[in-house]
Amino acid sequence: MNANARQVATYLQKSKCTVILTGAGMSTESGIPDFRSENGLWHGRDPMTIATPEALETDYETFFNFYLARLEALDEASPHKGHQILAKWEENGFTHHVATQNVDGFHRQAGQQHISELHGSIQAIRCHDCNMKASDEKFRSKGACSACGGRLRPDIVLFGEMLPQQEWERSIEMISEAELVLVIGTSLQVAPVSQLPNLTPGQKVWINQEAPEREEWFDLTIQGKAGEILTEIDQMLSQPES
């Protein structure tokens, strides 16, 4: 029995408002690499030089290929057991909000209702110039905006862009009221989301594969894979204490 997983189950049972904050590590068990991984998608390039408005404007070819590859990777992937467990916890009243940095839509696909997609959604396409919505097919075929001829892009937050205001404010509101915040699969290196855990008056738990660098911020940390640890906590929620 993992004593820390048991402790999280106890926290969940006691908390009247629980918020989940997820990052790229929540999706690696679905086969989507996180950002620090050596794995293929970036072709050895620094995504910080691609995922920016400047890159979109000066080198659309590279920008386009990078996001097309990410969209195509998602065609082959789906939410894993950890996403399903989080959606079930919401349905059962254990959790009340998910704030995610992920743009893959897996929480929604798993049935989660209360979500702030803080970095947008890669499946939503819009014109970079006039914001008009466009279809995924139009983007994939490298089409232009039908209203203004502008360049199409996923409706995600690129480095240097503002976070969607409503989603951001909702997350702050929920985290400020939370009695428990579970931070899952994020290196917490990208501001302003990295500041969110510090806004809660409640207990903070960090579930991450790598040893957390900011361990002192947390009441409890569990090192390991999100899907496996959530499964373990879920089992304890349905078992009486031994």
Instruction: Considering only the C-alpha atoms of the chain, give the largest distance between any 2 of them, rounded to a whole number of Å.
Output: 65
Choose among ligand NAD, Zn ion, none what residue 189 binds, the Cβ cut-off being 5 to 8 Å by kind: ligand NAD
Q: Of 1 and 147, which has the nearer Cβ to Zn ion?
A: 147
Please list, in sequence order, all residues whose beta carbon lies within 8 angstroms of the beta carbon of residue 44, skipping any fewer than 6 positions away: none
Contacts (CB under 5 A) with Zn ion, residues 111-170 = 127, 129-130, 132, 145, 147-148, 150
64 binds ligand NAD (CB under 6 A): no
Q: Of 1 and 148, which has the nearer Cβ to Zn ion?
A: 148
Among 12, 34, 104, 167, indicate the residue that binds ligand NAD (CB under 6 A): 34
Side chain identity, residue 208: N
Nearest approach in angstroms of CB 39 to ligand NAD is 11
Contacts (CB under 6 A) with ligand NAD, residues 201-230 = 208-210, 225-226
Among 79, 154, 185, 197, indicate the residue that binds ligand NAD (CB under 6 A): 185
The two three-digit tokens of residue 73, written as one number: 């990777």
Cis peptide before 192 (omega within 30 of 0): yes
Is residue 80 annotated as a catalytic residue, yes or no?
no
The two three-digit tokens of residue 185, written as one number: 């699969």
Q: Of 105 and 150, which has the nearer Cβ to Zn ion?
A: 150
Rounded to a whole number of angstroms, the CA Rg of the chain reads 19
Q: Of 146 and 189, which has the nearer Cβ to ligand NAD?
A: 189
Q: Distance (Å, rounded) from C-alpha 210 to C-alpha 10?
A: 24
The two three-digit tokens of residue 128, written as one number: 């970079």
Q: Please report, for the chain, how many H helices and E strands are present, in that order.
A: 8, 9
51 binds ligand NAD (CB under 6 A): yes
1 binds Zn ion (CB under 5 A): no
Q: Distance (Å, rounded) from C-alpha 218 to C-alpha 146?
A: 49
The torsion angles phi and psi of 181, rounded to 5 degrees, stand at: -125, 125
Catalytic residues: 119
Q: Which residues bind Zn ion (CB under 5 A)?
A: 127, 129-130, 132, 145, 147-148, 150
